[in-house]
Amino acid sequence: MIRHTFKKEERLTNKTTFDLLFNTGKGFTVSPFRLLWMESKLTDSIPAKLGISVPKRSFAKAVDRNTLKRRIREAYRKNKHLLYEVLQKKNLHIDLMMIYIAKEELPYQEIEKKMIVSLQKLMQQVE
């Protein structure tokens, strides 16, 4: 049975990693997400680290930004096993940043559908 968790070790927290990701990372867009990622060799047991961003320009209220981040985190948590399987087979680690680019708040079901599409496209592009 797959354990659907999202621990602190799976979160992108290092400022230098963020800077590197935004300066040299690869990316693509699947509405409502913009994905940026960097690949490296798998060194520990965690194949991916995730950062989530919801721009203040689009959602002025922190309540709305936090709601969207919570929905994105939940959708990722439930579907990350698809990505993890591919990364472990290829012995890769990725740092992943998901930026919410839509101007309106989408319901959870829509976010989850788009998350699956985004992860599938990412799996195709990972070398």
Which amino acid is located at 79 in the chain?
N
Dihedral angle sign, alpha carbons of residues 6, 8, 13, 18: negative
pLDDT at res. 29: 95
Cis check for the bond before 47: say yes or no (omega within 30 of 0).
no
pLDDT surpasses 60 at 22 = yes
Domains of the chain: 8-125 (3.30.230.10)
CA–CA dist 57, 33 (Å, integer): 15
Q: Taking residues 2-16, report their average pLDDT.
A: 87
Rounded average pLDDT over 115-120: 96
DSSP secondary structure string for all residues of 52-112: EE--TTT--SHHHHHHHHHHHHHHHHHHHHHHHHHHHHHTEEEEEEEEE--SSPPPHHHHH
Q: What is the pTM (predicted TM-score) of this model? A: 0.92
Q: What is the pLDDT of residues 29-80, one digit of tens each?
A: 999 999 999 998 888 888 999 999 999 999 999 999 999 999 999 999 999 9
pLDDT tens per residue across span 73-109: 999 999 999 999 999 999 999 999 999 999 999 999 9
Whether 47 and 84 have beta carbons less than 8 Å apart is answered as yes
pLDDT band of 2, cuts 50, 70, 90: low
